Chains A and B, each alone.
Chain A
Amino acid sequence: MFGLNRGRLLVATAVIATSGLTLSAMPAQALSPHLEVGVSSTEIKLGVTLPMTGTASPGYNKVPSAMKAYFDYVNANGGVNGKKVTLIVKDDQYVPTLAVAKTNELILKDKVLALLAPLGTANNKAVAAAVNPGRRGVPVLFVNTGYSGFANKKLFPTTFSLLPSYIVEAKIMAQYLKENYSDKKIGLLYQDDDFGDDALAGFKQAGLNFAVKVPYASGSQGVAGVPATWITKLSAGGAEVVVLFGVSSATGAALATAAGMKFAPKWVLGSVGGDATTIKALGVPAGVLYNATGASFLPATTDTTDEYIKLFQDINTTYNKGAVFDNNVLVGMNTAFVTVQALKAAGPNITRKSLITAIEKKGATFASAGLTPLNFSATSHVGYAGYWFGTYGPTGDLKPNGGTYTMYTTDSAAGAVVKSTYSRPAMPAKGLPN
């Protein structure tokens, strides 16, 4: 086996030597000393990991092409400080271990300047621990998760979030439920990890008690028979109002299964899984969604009176092959819109450090489609903090209750839920940052 003779020793040495050569033949890409990693004289490279395939992918897999579409629009109009923005997309299938491997590729192999909108609470936590972008100084712009923990600057020094936290969402939703359904038994379906725990913390903070709570394991929505057990539990618990606080595929599975089992409570959908287009694509008839309650922090996707929606729809037609304009496309474009301002604010000699400083210093003044202000500062890496509630119409489109966006805002701590008085400034001309 490991008996040594000269021949074998030679072979062993040869193997070690060749592998050594092969490995060292691919040295770190030599970059010009003046330019930051991921930046060349003509290009700024960003990277995203998210589920493009797999159980949790429906809906979210539309986000990258929407971000790319806006970047293409900007690139066609002179780029950012003369550089074009490119986005490298990696599929992590919503699996934390894959997210770690793919993020490694983005940072070490593709050498991106920053990560942009990586999706998922568990995935981002795993990446933070394993790849540790914070220690490497790699900016993680606008994580696509509302987990409140990422606001901790000490633990995640380079991470910024755009979405309101799940605690904020749950607190505002709790107030809405108490105002409208105080006499009803309320049920909850939530994901059995930090995503769901964050929501639970918010509901608890607001003092909302559920008659029945059903946790589901991430991915189990794709297992035959599992969604039926959720509905059985919710129905057995006598829930008259059911909050679905999960990913799109879980929300879709719950609605479709409930329809099949003739269980028809009043549905209240969280923002994460509340995109009507995605839910309908998962086989839920629009009628099931009709009259359900939903929440958002951006204008309604069908609201063409909104200048941002109008612009994004135009860009979608020209640069995104006319994909169905849903909430995922809207979130993607809005994220890219804020990102371009951050890149621009970081200056022509952009570095990872100057990018972070730019958001801390000027982030609060960035334009965006959001209906609450962006709260970026040296002490806060959190963007929005508010929601409006709406009702799904007969075709499944979410429209604000009472015809106007009534925004409620709060914080991730003990602060009260209050009506927002914010009025959004006008969009920069042509939707290009100036």
Chain B
Amino acid sequence: MHKIKSTNFTRLLFFIVLGVGLFLLGNRVDELRVYQGATLAMYVIAISSIILLTGYSGQVSLGHGAMLAIGGYAAALAHEHLGLPIWICFSIAVLAAAAAGAVLGTAAARLSGPYLAGTTLALAVGLPSIANQFPILGGEQGLLFDVGAPPARLGADFTQYKWYFWIAALAALIAIWWLQNILRSRYGRMWRAVRGNEVAAELAGIHIGKSKTLAFTVSSGLAGLAGGVLAMTISTVSPSAFPLSLSFSLLTGAVLAGVSTLSGVIIGALTLVATPEIADAISRRLGNSENVTTNLPGLLVSALLILVVLLVPNGPVEQWRKFRARSLHEVTHR
């Protein structure tokens, strides 16, 4: 097959075209879809941070919701107390979560497998309740994070959610573009080497601990950005915005996306956004019982997770590649 040469330029071009596509799409759909688009962008960032951590560096985090919480709270505090512009708030969200990730990553580098999973899980359980201890964090009710109405020059018909969508989509595009660049750099190769075989990587001169800590830091920074975007779309941060189920959803999204490749990330994000919609439609048919409505989304995601692990353990994108490679092989060897 003829290959278009993948250069930094073509990849940048791809993201610009994607951005223009999203821009056009945002103008065509109604406000509910635009709102879901903003949520989708948030999930894209959050899931890619997990893919980076688990798929590329081989570390497991069951508590990435905590990193989102740190980012969300950092952005909200910067906005409320310092009155900083929104893009600086997002930068602060990234830095704050990355700093927390660096600290946690140092500890995480010494742990592996279930111990690491347990540590991160404990963090996701415990961290949000810190908000109840310090009045500045607003307790259970949380803090408002209002990025404000869209600029007047965009017109009176320009809705609030379209504005969120623009910001969220731009953040996601920049994050993914930057991430796929770093994954192609020597750091990306270093992480994969460590994941593949720690002893071999160490023999090749890679400092295992530093490599893992760095991956944790970068992943946390991305999660922090996702937290900032999440806080923007719901205009508030509170412990209830970052429940344990969020961490699990993100992990599920990553598995659905195919944890070892970034290109499936949109599939994971789409699934997470679509599940409540599908669950809603089903529960309407079943007569709108409270129990069904409340529990069905979780049930659907869990069922999907089990199916994916059983049928396509590497994710649908990887499976598709394998399938194509096989059929290509058959065609050329016929």
Residues of A within 8 A of B (CB): 1-7, 9, 12, 15-16, 19-20, 23-24, 26-28, 52-53, 61, 91, 93, 95-98, 100-101, 104-105, 108-109, 121-122, 125-126, 129-130, 132, 135, 192-194, 217-220
Q: Which residues of B contact A9 (CB under 8 A)?
A: 4
Q: Which of A26, A97, A108 contacts B241 (CB 8 A)?
A: A97
Q: Which of B32, B240, B261, B262 contacts A108 (CB 8 A)?
A: B32
Q: Is B119 an interface residue (CB 8 A)?
A: no
Given A96-B141, A129-B146, A129-B235, residue A16 in contact with residue B6 (CB < 8 A) = no
Q: Is the CB of A96 within 8 A of B236?
A: yes
Q: Is the CB of B184 within 8 A of A1?
A: yes
Q: Is the CB of B4 within 8 A of A4?
A: yes
Secondary structure call for the A interface: helix
Cα separation A19 to B270 with both chains bound (whole Å) = 10
Q: Is the CB of A52 within 8 A of B290?
A: yes
Closest 8 CB pairs of A and B: A130-B235, A108-B32, A193-B141, A122-B141, A129-B235, A28-B30, A218-B140, A3-B6
Secondary structure call for the B interface: helix
Q: Is the CB of B294 within 8 A of A135?
A: no
Q: Which of A2, A109, A125, A192 contacts B262 (CB 8 A)?
A: A2
Q: Is the CB of A15 within 8 A of B266?
A: yes
Q: Is the CB of A5 within 8 A of B141?
A: no
Q: Which residues of A contact B266 (CB under 8 A)?
A: 15
Given A1-B262, A91-B294, residue A194 in contact with residue B141 (CB < 8 A) = yes
Q: Which residues of B contact A52 (CB under 8 A)?
A: 290, 294
Q: Which of B33, B141, B240 contacts A26 (CB 8 A)?
A: B33
Q: Which residues of A contact B49 (CB under 8 A)?
A: none
Q: Which residues of A contact B238 (CB under 8 A)?
A: 96-97, 122, 126
Q: Is B104 an interface residue (CB 8 A)?
A: no
Q: Which residues of A contact B29 (CB under 8 A)?
A: 23-24, 26-27
User: What count of chain B residues pass the 8 Å CB interface test?
Assistant: 50
Q: Is the CB of A129 within 8 A of B144?
A: yes
Q: Which residues of A contact B180 (CB under 8 A)?
A: 1-2
Q: Is B82 an interface residue (CB 8 A)?
A: no
- Shortest Cβ gap from B323 to chain A (Å): 12
Q: Is the CB of A104 within 8 A of B1?
A: no
Residues of B within 8 A of A (CB): 1-4, 6, 10-11, 14, 18, 21, 25, 28-33, 35, 37, 132, 139-142, 144, 146, 149, 160, 180, 183-184, 233-236, 238, 240-241, 261-263, 266, 270, 276, 280, 290-291, 293-294, 324
Give 11 new A-B contacts, CB below 8 A, not counting A1-B262, A19-B25.
A4-B11, A6-B1, A6-B4, A20-B28, A24-B25, A27-B30, A96-B236, A125-B144, A129-B144, A192-B139, A193-B139
Q: Which residues of A contact B25 (CB under 8 A)?
A: 19-20, 23-24
Q: Which residues of A contact B324 (CB under 8 A)?
A: 7
- Shortest Cβ gap from A201 to chain B (Å): 16
Cα separation A91 to B279 with both chains bound (whole Å) = 14
Cα separation A26 to B228 with both chains bound (whole Å) = 29
Q: Is the CB of A217 within 8 A of B139?
A: yes
Cα separation A53 to B294 with both chains bound (whole Å) = 8
Q: Which of A5, A98, A109, A217 contacts B140 (CB 8 A)?
A: A217
Cα separation A220 to B2 with both chains bound (whole Å) = 61
- Shortest Cβ gap from A192 to chain B (Å): 5
- Shortest Cβ gap from B29 to chain A (Å): 5
Cα separation A126 to B29 with both chains bound (whole Å) = 25
Q: Is the CB of A96 within 8 A of B10?
A: no
Q: Is the CB of A5 within 8 A of B4?
A: yes
Q: Is the CB of A192 within 8 A of B140?
A: yes
Q: Which residues of A contact B4 (CB under 8 A)?
A: 4-6, 9
Q: Which of A4, A24, A100, A125 contacts B141 (CB 8 A)?
A: A125
- Shortest Cβ gap from B146 to chain A (Å): 5
Q: Which residues of B contact A26 (CB under 8 A)?
A: 29-30, 33
